[in-house]
């Protein structure tokens, strides 16, 4: 192996680790619109950069950007925008127009805009260009599957385009079988929902309801108490917030590695089902707020990092670490020194040690100051700060 190959391999490993770290933090976010985790794709571009996509909502993409410290638009949402007008493209064989035209008219009467070639393509228009415009702007792709249409090469080309839009998340694919047995459709279409369509009021109402997103689910009952106690719209899963609350409330000094708990202890203390405990812990590990050590044949040990207190104290304690960090930064500037011990510093600010540690963690996490740590226990974390121009810049930004 040449030296160039060796160093290129090291670079690839470092780049892959960075991508894994990005994905771990992004995957810990829940979609504020659905309350569920959405898939996130971190794809490398050579060994120089990466692109991030998600099939979650645009609000989820913005939340991921915030979690990762990225600019707006750097995380690409593949789903249609929430306010995008519904436009249905109808693919069909010419011989089936006696079915397609009343279908399109029925959807229009139910408030759904339809791209139907007879209405959209005029004299002198390019057939292909017009169809590409319709395919490019549609939110729902419908193909009428009949004995005639499945034999048409043009219709199959449209199906390919509709399936590609569905894969990319820009349009929903709906195959409607009319007097066609399921066994007659292609193997690939059998993997998608292709219901039998009847051209009557019931069939049109069902189709319109599907396009409009009318839920068929029954009404939800009451959520478990541990879910009800947390804010809807949060970018953290309910389980992650419950686990975070446990560590926040049970840490006497807000120091890293205090307290420590096993999965079993967390389950017993929070009342969460065991799978939710594990997912909540995974979310917080992915976000860089918890750490875990696995033991062969035994329960894992889990503990907080200082960033957890800077992130969640404002939710569960009587102070705001971000605001406190500003007051602490001004206090440090006023000391006019490059290095300081934090013994009893909380008293000068009128805080208890636990509150001081959260504000200090905020400054350390934001790379405003560098922590000084040693092994012996103390009321506050860290034991001291090393300060530079980053602190000055932080204070000037107020």
When comparing pLDDT for 232 and 300, which is higher?
300
Q: Is residue 87 within a helix (H) or strand (E), and if so which, with residue range?
A: strand 87-91
pLDDT class of 9 with cuts at 50, 70, 90: low
Instruction: Assess contact for 274 and 263: CB atoms under 8 A.
Output: yes
pLDDT class of 214 with cuts at 50, 70, 90: low
Look at residue 247 in the predicted model and tell me its pLDDT: 96
How does pLDDT run across 285-321, given as a tens digit for each residue? 988 899 999 987 778 999 999 999 999 999 999 899 9
pLDDT beyond 60 at 226: no
When comparing pLDDT for 76 and 364, which is higher?
364
> DSSP characters for 34-65?
TSSB--EEEEEETTTEEEEEESS-HHHHHHHH
Tell me 197's DSSP state. Answer: -
C-alpha to C-alpha distance for 338 and 285, rounded to whole angstroms:
33
With CA atoms as reference, report the closest residue to 286 among 240, 227, 231, 242. Answer: 240
C-alpha to C-alpha distance for 321 and 214, rounded to whole angstroms:
43
Look at residue 220 in the predicted model and tell me its pLDDT: 60
pLDDT beyond 90 at 386: yes
C-alpha to C-alpha distance for 25 and 67, rounded to whole angstroms:
7
pLDDT beyond 70 at 338: yes
When comparing pLDDT for 10 and 393, which is higher?
393
Verify cis geometry, omega within 30 degrees of 0, for the bond prior to 273: no
**339's torsion region: left (phi>0), alpha (psi -120 to 50) or beta?**
beta
Strand order in the sheet with 301-304: 261-262, 301-304, 290-293
Look at residue 211 in the predicted model and tell me its pLDDT: 85
Residue 4 CB-density burial (10 A; 0-12 exposed, 13-18 middle, 19+ buried):
exposed
pTM: 0.53
With CA atoms as reference, report the closest residue to 53 among 34, 35, 79. Answer: 79
The predicted model gives 149-166 an average pLDDT of 88
SS3 339: strand
Interhelix angle 321-335/353-365, nearest 10 degrees = 80
Tell me the pairing of strands 87-91 and 140-145.
parallel
Stretch among 9-23, 57-71, 133-147 having the lowest mean pLDDT: 9-23
CA-to-CA separations, 10 to 2, 5, 49, 50, 250, in angstroms, rounded? 13, 9, 16, 17, 41
When comparing pLDDT for 247 and 15, which is higher?
247
The predicted model gives 127-131 an average pLDDT of 80
pLDDT beyond 70 at 6: no
When comparing pLDDT for 265 and 12, which is higher?
265
Verify cis geometry, omega within 30 degrees of 0, for the bond prior to 137: no
When comparing pLDDT for 188 and 395, which is higher?
395
pLDDT class of 340 with cuts at 50, 70, 90: very high
pLDDT beyond 70 at 224: no
CA-to-CA separations, 182 to 134, 150, 176, 304, in angstroms, rounded? 28, 12, 10, 54
Backbone angles phi, psi at 391, to 5 degrees: -65, -45
pLDDT class of 82 with cuts at 50, 70, 90: very low
Strand order in the sheet with 339-341: 339-341, 384-387, 369-372
pLDDT beyond 80 at 237: yes
pLDDT class of 225 with cuts at 50, 70, 90: very low
The predicted model gives 254-267 an average pLDDT of 93
């Amino acid at each position: 192996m040449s030296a160039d190959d060796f160093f290129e391999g090291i670079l690839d490993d470092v780049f892959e680790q960075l991508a894994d770290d990005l994905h771990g933090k992004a995957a810990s976010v829940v979609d504020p619109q659905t309350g569920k985790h959405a898939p996130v794709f971190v794809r490398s571009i050579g060994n120089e950069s990466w692109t991030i996509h998600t099939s979650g909502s645009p609000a989820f993409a913005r939340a991921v950007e915030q979690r990762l410290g990225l600019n707006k638009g750097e995380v690409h949402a593949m789903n249609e925008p929430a306010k995008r007008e519904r436009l249905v493209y109808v693919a069909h064989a010419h011989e089936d127009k006696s079915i397609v035209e009343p279908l399109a008219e029925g959807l229009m009467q139910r408030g759904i805009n339809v791209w139907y070639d007879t209405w959209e393509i005029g004299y002198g228009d390019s057939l292909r260009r017009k169809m590409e415009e319709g395919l490019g702007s549609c939110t729902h792709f419908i193909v009428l599957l009949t004995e005639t249409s499945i034999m048409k090469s043009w219709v199959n080309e449209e199906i390919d385009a509709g399936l590609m839009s569905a894969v990319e998340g820009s349009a929903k694919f709906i195959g409607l079988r009319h007097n066609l047995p399921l066994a007659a459709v292609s193997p690939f279409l059998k993997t998608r929902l292709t219901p039998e369509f009847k051209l009557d009021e019931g069939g049109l109402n069902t189709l319109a309801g599907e396009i409009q997103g009318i839920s068929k689910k029954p009404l939800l009952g009451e959520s478990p108490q541990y879910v009800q106690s947390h804010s809807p719209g949060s970018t953290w899963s309910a389980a992650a917030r419950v686990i975070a609350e446990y560590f926040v409330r049970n840490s006497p000094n807000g120091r890293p590695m205090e307290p420590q708990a096993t999965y079993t202890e967390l389950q017993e203390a929070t009342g969460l089902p065991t799978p939710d405990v594990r997912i909540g812990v995974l979310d917080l590990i992915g976000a860089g707020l918890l750490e875990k050590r696995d033991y062969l044949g035994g329960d894992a040990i889990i503990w907080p990092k200082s960033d957890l207190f800077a992130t969640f104290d404002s939710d569960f304690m009587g102070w705001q670490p971000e605001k406190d960090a500003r007051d602490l930064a001004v206090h440090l500037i006023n000391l006019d020194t490059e290095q300081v011990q934090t013994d009893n510093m909380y008293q000068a600010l009128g805080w208890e040690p636990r509150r001081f540690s959260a504000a200090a963690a905020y400054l350390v996490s934001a790379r405003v100051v560098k922590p000084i740590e040693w092994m012996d226990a103390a009321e506050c974390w860290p034991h001291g700060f090393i300060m530079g121009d980053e602190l000055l810049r932080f204070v000037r930004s107020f």
